[in-house]
Amino acid sequence: MFQALEILTVLIVAVAMALALAHALELPGKMRLSKEQYLAVQPIYYPGFTSAVSPSRSA
């Protein structure tokens, strides 16, 4: 049982770190955009995330 908990913990941490790394790897591409371009493409980056976090803001 304890070994299964250790494996589960490692998997959860690995997923969390992978998500953080993905955000860090997106940063150079985002920094090349102008403010107008960034605001125009931001909804394309995270369509599911923005609607899941704030359903009232999705148009």
CA distance 52 to 59: 13
Check pLDDT > 60 for residue 56.
no
For 13, the token pair is 């941490």
Whether 58 is in a domain gets the answer no
Contact 48/55 with Cβ under 8 angstroms? Answer: no
Whether 21 is in a domain gets the answer yes
Check pLDDT > 70 for residue 48.
no
Whether 50 is in a domain gets the answer no
CA distance 45 to 36: 15
Whether 52 is in a domain gets the answer no
Total of domains in the chain: 1
pTM of the model: 0.54
pLDDT digits (tens, 9 = 90+) for 36-45: 998 888 877 7
Contact 50/58 with Cβ under 8 angstroms? Answer: yes
Confidence of residue 12 (pLDDT cuts 50, 70, 90): very high
Output the CA–CA distances (angstroms, integers) from residue 49 to 11, 29, 41, in the order listed.
22, 19, 14
What is the residue range of 9's domain?
A: 1-45
Whether 39 is in a domain gets the answer yes
Confidence of residue 7 (pLDDT cuts 50, 70, 90): very high
